[in-house]
Chains A and B, each alone.
Chain A
């Protein structure tokens, strides 16, 4: 079975400082992993995805994630936070070959001026 654990329910950073949102996954086979972002009262937007190509994945809005098989981690980073980054972030793993997505519980990112 596949699962994801987001290690922090809430992260607070100052504008201009780095962002680190942590995610560990569990999968019985080589997984596809995603990060989605949800702004208040909005739908879900794909930030980036890993599908067994390069382990360092670049996404939109300056976000990156690194797939580390030995640590079963897929942490999301950004060098410099912007106020507009304040949102809920979901780490997601695909479930087998049906397309079902399994979501983590989410991390709320707060960006302080």
Chain B
């Protein structure tokens, strides 16, 4: 158990809908990262927050957004869902924002999203 929790574990929804994925980082970790794992794209970095502020952005679609709240939990919002958004979404956390000597990121169990 990494100490990172994600809810829900599974989510089935329809095209055009909107969903919210939730992540609670390990106690004491200030950074939260979101990754998407799909069969065709592999594991891709989406976005990072550090202590409530957006720190880095990856290949995140404009239909997707995220935020980190004062209690440090984070939510990833996916809207106008398409079939291709079906994937496993991971959240990870680390103590620091990321430096040249990289802090270890601890991953949650993921949320499996299926868009029908």
Which residues of A sit under 8 angstroms from B42, Cβ to Cβ? 103-106
A47–B22 Cα distance when bound, in Å, is 26
How many whole Å from A97's CB to the nearest CB in chain B? 5
Contacts of B104 in A (CB 8 A): 34, 46, 49
B16 within 8 A of A: no
Q: Which of B58, B90, B101, B106 contacts A100 (CB 8 A)?
A: B58
The minimal Cβ–Cβ distance linking A32 to chain B, given in whole angstroms, is: 4
The total number of A-B Cβ pairs within 8 Å is 75
> Which of A42, A98, A105 has its CB near the most chain B CB atoms (within 10 A)?
A98
Determine whether the beta carbon of A98 is less than 8 Å from that of B55.
yes
Say yes or no: A94 contacts B110, CB within 8 Å: no
Distance in angstroms between the alpha carbons of A106 and B42 in the assembled complex: 8
In the complex, the chain B residue whose C-beta lies closest to that of A52 is: B101
Interface residues of B in 81-111 (CB under 8 A from A): 90, 92, 94, 96-110
| Across-interface contacts of B103 in A (CB, < 8 A) | 99
A100 near B43 (CB under 8 angstroms)?
A: no
Chain A interface residues toward B at CB < 8 A: 29-30, 32, 34, 36, 42-46, 49, 51-52, 90, 94-95, 97-106
